[in-house]
Chain A
Amino acid sequence: MDNLVIAGKSYTSRLLVGTGKYKDFNETRTAVETSGAEIITVAIRRTNIGQTADQPNLLDVLSPSQYTLLPNTAGCYTVDDAVRTLRLARELLDGHSLVKLEVLGDPKTLFPNVVETLKAAEILIKESFEVMVYTSDDPILAKQLEEIGCVAIMPLASLIGSGMGILNPWNLQIIIDNAKVPVIVDAGVGTASDATIAMELGCDGVLMNTAIAAAKDPVLMASAMRKAVESGREAYLAGRMEKKLYSASPSSPVDGVIAQTLGDKKIGPKSA
C-alpha cells in the first residue's frame, strides 16, 4: 500500500482538511467525510462563558475516535501563545501529541514568522509533541525544521485563504528533494488542479480548508479534491513522460494510413 506515514502512523488518505468556515456542523461533517481525509485540523479557542450549555461541540460531530485530530495554533503570533495553545490542546485531547504549529508574523498576509516558528518547534519537541510545522517555502528553513525534529514540513503554496495556487513550484521541488520527513503543502490551494500539481511535484500530502469550505458547493469540491490528490499521487508514482517541444511523435502507427493513396492518385500531403 502507498500510505502516508507521519510520526510512525500510517494513513491511506493524503488529503488533510480543515474544519473552519463551513456554514454549519452538518456541512462540516459531510464535506470532511466526502474528502476521505483521516487527519483533520481543529482550532483551540476560549469557550463562551455562560453560553455553552446547549451549544453543539465540534468534537461531537467529528469524533477523535474516528479521525486523527490535528490541533493548530492559528491566530498565534508569539512563541508563548503557540506553545500554551498546544499544551491546552494536548490536555483537551487526552494526551494526543500530534499538532500543527504555525506562528504568524503579519495579520494582513498571515505569513509565518519563521524565526518564532523555529523557537516554538524546539520547545514543543522537547516536550514530546509531534510537530507538523507550517512554514514558508524556504528550503533552508524547511531543512532546519526537519533537523530539529519536526515530523512533517508544511510549506505554503501561497498565502492562507488566498486560493492563489502554487506560486513557487521550484522551491517546493527543492524542499521535497531534500526532505526525509513528509512534505505537505499547506495553504493557498484554490482548486483541484492546484492539489494535483502539488502531488505531481512529489508532495506527500496536501492540507486545505478554504478551497473546500469557500466553494459554492463545498461537498462537491471535497469530492473533487479527494480525486485530485489521488490523481496527482498516481501520476507522480507513474512517472510522467518527458517534455519534448520539437520532437512530436504520433501515438498511432505512421504506416498504413489509407487516406494517403486512392488508386493511383495521390491525395495525401505531397511530401508523404
Chain B
Amino acid sequence: MIQLTINGQSQQFEAPINVTQLIDHLALHDKRFAIERNGEIVPRSQFSEQLLVHGDQLEVVVAVGGG
C-alpha cells in the first residue's frame, strides 16, 4: 500500500504506480495538464518511467481563466 498526496488530497494505492497509470486513474489522459512531483516537473516523456513512491507529493494543474 502506498500513499500519495495529489493536489493536497491523500490517496492510497494498492501497489506502486507510474505516472501514466496515475493519469489513467485520474481520467486525465485526453486533457491538457502538467504534473509536478515533489517540486520537480515530470516531463511527458518520462510518464511511463517514473514510478511513484509512498509519500510523493504531486501537483496536477490545468489552465483556467485568469487575468
Contacts and interface: CB of A to CB of B under 8 A. Distances in A.
B63 A49 contact: no
B32 A47 contact: no
B34 interface: yes
B60 A46 contact: yes
Contact of A84 (B39, B60, B62): B39
A237 interface: no
B46 to A, nearest CB: 11
A91 B64 contact: no
A106 B10 CA distance: 30
Interface residues of A, number: 38
B33 interface: yes
Given A47-B33, A87-B36, A52 B63 contact: no
B66 A20 contact: yes
Contacts of A74: 66-67
Contacts of B63: 42-44, 57-59, 69, 71, 89, 92-93
Given A46-B60, A52-B27, A84-B39, A58 B65 contact: yes
B21 to A, nearest CB: 15
Interface centre among A22, A45, A88 (most CB of B within 10 A): A88
Interface string A1-40: 0000000000000000011111000001000000000000
A54 B36 CA distance: 23
Interface in A57-94: 57-59, 69, 71-72, 74, 84-85, 87-89, 91-93
B51 interface: no
A85 B59 CA distance: 10
A47 B12 CA distance: 18
Q: In the complex, which of the residues A57, A72, A93 has the most CB atoms of chain B within 10 Å of its own CB atom? A: A57
A49 B60 contact: yes
Contacts of A125: none
A201 interface: no
B64 to A, nearest CB: 5
Interface in A158-173: 160-161
A72 B36 contact: no
Contact of A28 (B6, B60, B65): B65
Given A46-B7, A49-B7, A87-B41, A210 B67 contact: yes
Contact of B67 (A18, A44, A45): A18
Interface in B1-47: 6-9, 11, 26-28, 31-36, 39, 41, 43-44
A250 interface: no
Contact of A45 (B6, B8, B31, B61): B61
A72 B59 CA distance: 17
B9 to A, nearest CB: 6
Contact of B26 (A21, A50, A87): A50
21 contacts: A18-B65, A20-B66, A28-B65, A43-B64, A43-B65, A44-B64, A47-B26, A49-B6, A49-B7, A49-B9, A49-B60, A52-B27, A52-B62, A57-B32, A58-B64, A59-B63, A91-B34, A91-B43, A92-B61, A93-B63, A209-B67
